[in-house]
Structure 1
Amino acid sequence: MASDFARYIANLRQSLFDEKLLDRHFLQLERLETNNEGYLEDVCADYFKDAAKFVGLMVPELMGAIQVTHQIDCMREHLKRGDFEACKIALERIKQENEFLQFKLDNYFKLRKQAPPAEIEDQPEYGYMDTDSE
């Protein structure tokens, strides 16, 4: 039963990468957590708290938030073109992506706390991972 739950949590984690919600930066944060239990959850909590205040100024790639980063890049392009109506739409999308990511990670962390300690797979399978190559 415990192994089924651990497998479920591993699949939930994998889905965060499959849905391109997270990238390699998240993996780096996970590695840091091995010596400091709760570190990753604290970093994410701080990220979401600060992001709510500073959506336009945040640097989401530090946490590995791919979709949020993409929407911020779109907003920058709209700003360069002077398309302020598109900027408003992009800002709403940034907020939505950020809220969606927070919901998914909160769920993941809650379930992970209930599971027995498990070895974290260093490199989950994902479509494109390195956003630097795009």
Structure 2
Amino acid sequence: MADEHAQQIANLRQSFFDQQLLNEKFFRTEEIDIGLPGFLEDFYCTYFREAERLVVTLKLELHGPPFDVESIELYLHEFRSNTKSAGAVKVLTQIGRCIECSSALDFAGCLACLEEASTEMKYLKRQLKNYFRLIRQGPPTVIDDCPDFGDESSSEE
């Protein structure tokens, strides 16, 4: 039973990378959790709380005119920085598109990309909730299998 549970956890972790939801930063943060139990979940709860705040703020900014380009850029870069730290690959890709649109003064396009980023973020949040639920049911004693991260070049933007 314990082996089956550990395998479920390992499979779910690997799916994060296979689906390109998360990159190696998740694994690095997870290693910290071994010494500080609960760190990983707290880290991602904080990330999602801040990311959701930024999405709401950006949506308000993008429903101009007038558009405060400087504020929009500032919020987008903060969102990108936080997301990069979390290793949320698909969210990061959409934020990059938001930044491109904002730079081109395409605020409708920026808003559309922000909606996509928000959708990707909500999906990731659901997947991580499932993961943390499994961990709370009884974590494996040691996380000894390093996920296959795939192509490292696609994990950073």
User: What TM-score do you get using the length of structure 2 for normalisation?
Assistant: 0.78
Counterpart mapping for 1:17-56 below 5 A: 17-55=17-55, 56=76
The amino acid that maps onto 2:33 is E
Alpha-carbon distance, 1:127 to partner: 2.6
Q: What is the alpha-carbon distance in structure 2 between the residues aligned to residue 19 and residue 118 of structure 1?
A: 26
Alpha-carbon distance, 1:122 to partner: 5.8
Alpha-carbon distance, 1:39 to partner: 0.4
Residue from 70, 76, 81 that aligns with 2:99: 76
| 1:67-122 Cα distance to aligned partner (Å, 9 max, x none) | 11110001111112222221111010011111111110011010111134332246
User: What TM-score do you get using the length of structure 1 for normalisation?
Assistant: 0.90
The amino acid that maps onto 2:27 is L
Percent of residue pairs bearing the same amino acid type: 38
**Judging changes above 3 Å, is the alpha-carbon distance between structure 1 residues 23 and 36 closer, same or farther for their aligned structure 2 residues?**
same
Gaps of 5+ in 2: 56-75
How large is the RMSD of aligned CA atoms in angstroms? 1.6
The amino acid that maps onto 2:108 is E
Q: What is the alpha-carbon distance in structure 1 between the residues aligned to residue 26 and residue 139 of structure 2?
A: 21
What is the aligned length?
133
Name whichever structure is richer in helix by fraction: 2
Divergent runs of 4+, >6 A: none
Could you say which structure has the greater relative contact order, defined with CA pairs below 8 angstroms and 6 or more residues apart? 1
| 1:40-80 Cα distance to aligned partner (Å, 9 max, x none) | 00000111111110133322010111111110001111112
